[in-house]
């Protein structure tokens, strides 16, 4: 009798253990069947769906995780990773994820600063657009269609293959995916001449919450307005963009002049603030500010690099600099005349003479652990206050790097409400705070992030206020996050939303209520629906 009871218990235990497994298999089979039903491509989608049971699942998942801070076994893993090769695969992925109550994360290049393109706290699916990266350049029409899985390096490369006098004003890191970059803005070295990347987008192809493929005409101007600079993942899955190519001269000039505090860096930085947004529109001069070893053993100092691109030759640049910024003392020996495509390599930090083929490399090398934040500055910071900033940066052993990038020019001519990106006239420059470290583990992360927050807090008196604004593409969850679930509070989301979008946040939420009233496309900082 006892042995019979023991056998029964064993069988019951096996049954209990098998139920979750059977349920999991059932969900997986049903989801895959759904994908096949809704994906009309002649190429079977099953070849491009990965589950934790696939041997290549982990390598696919990790392939585009650019921030190693999020490469942790503790994070919830996606139930499926889908790498579409056809638009219908994206349609099926949206429809079936919705049917099976799975959240969607869309990954283009994997550079989201907070990992929102591949992380979630609830069951989810990753749509990885790595296979949708075709680029069709039409030099005669000055346009190109770019699939959302392409990187900006691949875009630059394909344009340069066709023409030395065409370019595109996007970011400075070639491995960033265009899916997220364009929908958040896209600040680059030609921002003062041509505006943001998103200011030069003519059309888009988007899969909406119902699985329909929409272009600019069929989606309407309100939705098109929202997906440009408002964060496309709040409204659907962007499959491709039509961009406007811009003219660039056959010869451009690049230079980097480096100064330390002992070499008069503070006065030069103060002067730069007064003129950087008023320079010739073809001149982009950013500052890279960091702590370096000083001449005295064990000592440190502040170093600033004036890194620049001028859309023209040396003969035009030198008189311009002598008139606008003679204090820098720019000489011909500091400058290099080159092509626009080679200027991309220069600003990105590639070695001199590197072939443009490196722009096709989608991998950020080396990957790192980092936490970034951002600000916009409306008034020059005084020399006295700059000295106080240096004091804070020099304190301790953990030191962030600061990038100060000028605005003005074309950026000042676009009204604040014309696009979701409101940081236009009245903003002198943008600050990106960059904190990188090599030491792994949560304690190291906490230590470095706390130091970053300390520096950011100290900078409050010197930057924009009410709200203290930030750049969406430098995503920062410290600004606030949405409530869990689909019933996100608009008022709570406004805490972070107004920092990215100012008064445009309300219009974005109204558009959201029309195109995705159930708030299916959501994450920690997605636009919530607002119904008036």
452 within a domain of the structure (yes/no): yes
Same domain, 399 and 324: yes
Task: Return the H-helix or E-strand segment holding 479.
Answer: none
Residues 243 and 284 grouped into a single domain: no
Residues 95 and 173 occupy one common structural domain: no
Q: What is the CATH number of the domain that holds 184?
A: 3.30.465.10
Distance CA 169, CA 193 (A): 9
For the segment 246-271, the average pLDDT, to the nearest whole number, is 98
Q: What is the mean pLDDT of the chain?
A: 94
312, 428 contact by CB (below 8 A) = no
Q: Are 431 and 409 in contact (CB under 8 A)?
A: no
Residues linked to residue 300 through DSSP beta bridges, in sequence order: 293
Place of tokens 């098998």: 18
- Of the residues 462, 478, 498, which one is the last residue of a structural domain? 462
Q: How far from each other are the two terminal CA atoms of the chain, in whole angstroms?
A: 70
Average pLDDT (185-202) is: 98
pLDDT above 60 for 22: no
On whether both 183 and 265 belong to a single domain, the answer is: no
Domain membership flag for residue 153: yes
Q: Determine the average pLDDT of the residues in 456-482.
A: 98
The neighbouring-strand residues paired with 103 are 124
pLDDT of amino acid 134:
98
| Distance, CA of 318 to CA of 396 (rounded, Å) | 40
Nearest to 239 by CA among 227, 247, 251: 227
Domain ranges, residue 242? 135-247
In a domain, 519, yes or no: no
* pLDDT above 60: residue 293: yes
Of 133, 127, 200, 102, the C-alpha closest to 520 is 102
Both 191 and 281 in one domain: the answer is: no
pLDDT-above-90 percentage for the chain: 87
**pLDDT at position 16 over 50:** no
pLDDT at 93 over 60: yes
192 and 100, same structural domain?
no
Instruction: Give the count of domains, the chain.
Output: 3
pLDDT at 11: 46
pLDDT tier, 487 (very low <50, low <70, confident <90, very high otherwise): confident
**Do 438 and 320 reside in the same domain of the chain?**
yes
Mean pLDDT of the 102-124 span: 96
Residues pairing with 145 in the sheet:
136, 242
Q: Which of 412, 413, 416 is nearest to 469 (CA)?
A: 416
Please give the pLDDT value at position 6: 52
Per-residue H/E/C for 360-407: HCCCCCCCEEEEEEEEEECCCCCHHHHHHHHHHHHCCCCCCEEEEEEC
Is the pLDDT assigned to residue 126 strictly greater than 50?
Answer: yes
Q: Which tokens is 219 given?
A: 């989606």
Does 283 score more than 50 pLDDT? yes
Q: Are residues 118 and 197 in the same domain?
A: no
Same-domain status, 206 and 286: no
Give every CB contact of residue 285 below 8 A, 6+ residues apart in sequence: 272, 276, 279, 306, 307, 308, 406
Nearest C-alpha neighbor of 244 from the set 341, 148, 184, 170: 170
Q: Check whether residue 433 and residue 287 sit in a common domain.
A: yes
pLDDT attached to residue 485: 79
For residue 468, being part of any structural domain is answered with: no
Q: Are residues 117 and 213 in the same domain?
A: no
Q: What's CA 282's distance to the chain center, in Å?
A: 24
Per-residue confidence (pLDDT) for residue 24, from 0 to 100: 57
Determine, yes or no, domain membership for 300: yes
Last residue of a domain, one of 428, 462, 496: 462
The rounded distance, in Å, linking the Cα atoms of 270 and 104 is: 46
Listed in sequence order, the residues at least 6 apart from 56 whose beta carbon sits closer than 8 Å to its beta carbon are: 50
Instruction: Quick: pLDDT tens for 353-391.
Output: 899 999 999 886 778 899 999 999 999 999 999 999 999
Q: Between these two residues, 6 and 131, which has the higher pLDDT value?
A: 131
Domain's final residue, options 226, 247, 268 = 247
Is residue 495 classed as helix, strand or coil in its secondary structure? helix
Is residue 324 within a helix (H) or strand (E), and if so which, with residue range? helix 314-324
Q: Residue 496 to residues 198, 350, 456, 469, 489: CA-CA distances in angstroms? A: 21, 36, 16, 9, 12
Residue 509 lies in a domain: no
The CA–CA distances, whole Å, from 235 to 113, 206, 502, 532 equal: 20, 9, 19, 19
| Domain containing residue 415: CATH number | 3.40.462.20
Closest CA to 94 of 516, 532, 531: 516
Q: With respect to residue 117, please indicate whether it lies within any of the assigned structural domains.
A: yes
122-126: list long-range contacts, CB under 8 Å, 24+ apart: 122/76, 122/484, 123/76, 123/79, 124/76, 124/78, 124/79, 125/78, 125/79, 125/80, 125/81, 125/82, 125/93, 125/97, 126/61, 126/78, 126/80, 126/81, 126/82
The predicted structure's pLDDT at residue 25: 62
Tell me the pLDDT tens digit for each residue of 31-44: 999 999 998 778 89
Contacts made by residues 93-97, CB under 8 angstroms, sequence distance 24+: 93/35, 93/125, 93/127, 93/237, 94/207, 94/208, 94/209, 94/211, 94/236, 94/237, 95/34, 95/38, 95/210, 95/211, 96/31, 96/34, 96/35, 96/38, 97/125
The pLDDT of residue 298 = 66
Q: What is the largest CA-CA distance in the chain?
A: 102
Task: Name the least confident of 166-170, 364-368, 517-521.
Answer: 364-368
Question: 416 with 389, same domain?
Answer: yes
- Rounded mean pLDDT, 496-522: 98
Report pTM.
0.93
Q: Give dist(CA 141, CA 245) in Å, integer.
A: 9
């Amino acid at each position: 009798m006892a042995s019979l009871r023991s056998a029964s218990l064993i069988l019951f235990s096996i049954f209990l253990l098998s139920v979750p497994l059977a349920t999991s298999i059932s969900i997986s089979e049903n989801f895959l069947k759904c994908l096949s039903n809704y994906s009309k491509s002649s190429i079977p989608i099953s070849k491009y769906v990965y589950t934790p049971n696939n041997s290549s699942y982990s390598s696919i998942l990790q392939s585009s995780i650019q921030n190693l801070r999020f490469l942790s076994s503790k994070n919830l893993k996606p139930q499926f990773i889908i790498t579409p090769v056809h638009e219908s695969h994206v349609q099926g992925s949206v429809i079936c994820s919705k049917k099976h109550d799975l959240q969607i994360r869309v990954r283009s290049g994997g550079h989201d600063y907070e990992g929102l393109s591949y992380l979630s706290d609830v069951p989810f699916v990753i749509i990885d657009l790595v296979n949708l990266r075709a680029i069709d350049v039409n030099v005669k029409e000055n346009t190109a269609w770019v699939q959302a899985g392409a990187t900006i390096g691949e875009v630059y490369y394909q344009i340069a293959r066709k023409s030395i006098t065409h370019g595109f004003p996007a970011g400075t890191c070639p491995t960033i995916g265009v899916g997220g970059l364009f929908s958040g803005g896209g600040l680059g070295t030609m921002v003062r001449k041509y505006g943001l990347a998103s200011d030069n987008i003519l059309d888009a192809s988007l899969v909406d919450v119902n699985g329909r493929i929409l272009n600019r005409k069929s989606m309407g101007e309100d939705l098109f307005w929202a997906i440009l600079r408002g964060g496309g993942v709040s409204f659907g899955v962007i499959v491709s963009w039509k961009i406007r190519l811009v003219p660039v001269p056959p010869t451009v000039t690049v230079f980097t002049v480096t100064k330390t505090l002992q070499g008069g860096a503070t006065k030069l930085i103060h002067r730069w603030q007064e003129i950087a947004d008023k320079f010739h529109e073809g001149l982009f001069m950013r500052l890279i500010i960091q702590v370096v070893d000083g001449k005295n053993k064990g000592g440190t100092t502040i170093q600033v690099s004036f890194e620049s691109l001028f859309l023209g030759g040396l003969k035009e640049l030198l008189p311009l600099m002598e008139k606008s910024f003679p204090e820098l003392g720019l000489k011909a020996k500091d400058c290099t005349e080159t092509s626009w495509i080679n200027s991309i390599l220069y600003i990105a930090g590639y070695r001199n003479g590197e072939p443009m083929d490196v722009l096709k490399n989608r991998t950020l090398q080396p990957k790192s652990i980092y936490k970034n934040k951002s600000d916009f500055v409306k008034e020059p910071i005084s020399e006295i206050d700059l000295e106080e900033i240096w004091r804070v940066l020099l304190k301790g052993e953990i030191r962030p790097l600061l990038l100060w990038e000028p605005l003005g020019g074309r950026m000042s001519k676009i009204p604040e409400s014309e696009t979701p990106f409101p940081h236009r006239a009245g903003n002198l420059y943008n600050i990106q705070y960059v904190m990188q470290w090599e030491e792994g583990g949560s304690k190291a992360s906490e230590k470095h992030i706390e130091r970053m927050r300390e520096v950011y807090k100290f900078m409050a008196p010197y930057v924009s206020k009410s709200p203290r604004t930030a750049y969406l593409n430098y995503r920062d969850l410290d600004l606030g996050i949405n409530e869990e679930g689909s019933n996100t509070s608009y008022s709570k989301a406004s805490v972070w939303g107004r920092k990215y979008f100012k008064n445009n946040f309300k219009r974005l939420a109204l558009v959201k209520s029309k195109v995705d009233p159930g708030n299916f496309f959501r994450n920690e900082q997605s636009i919530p629906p607002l119904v008036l």
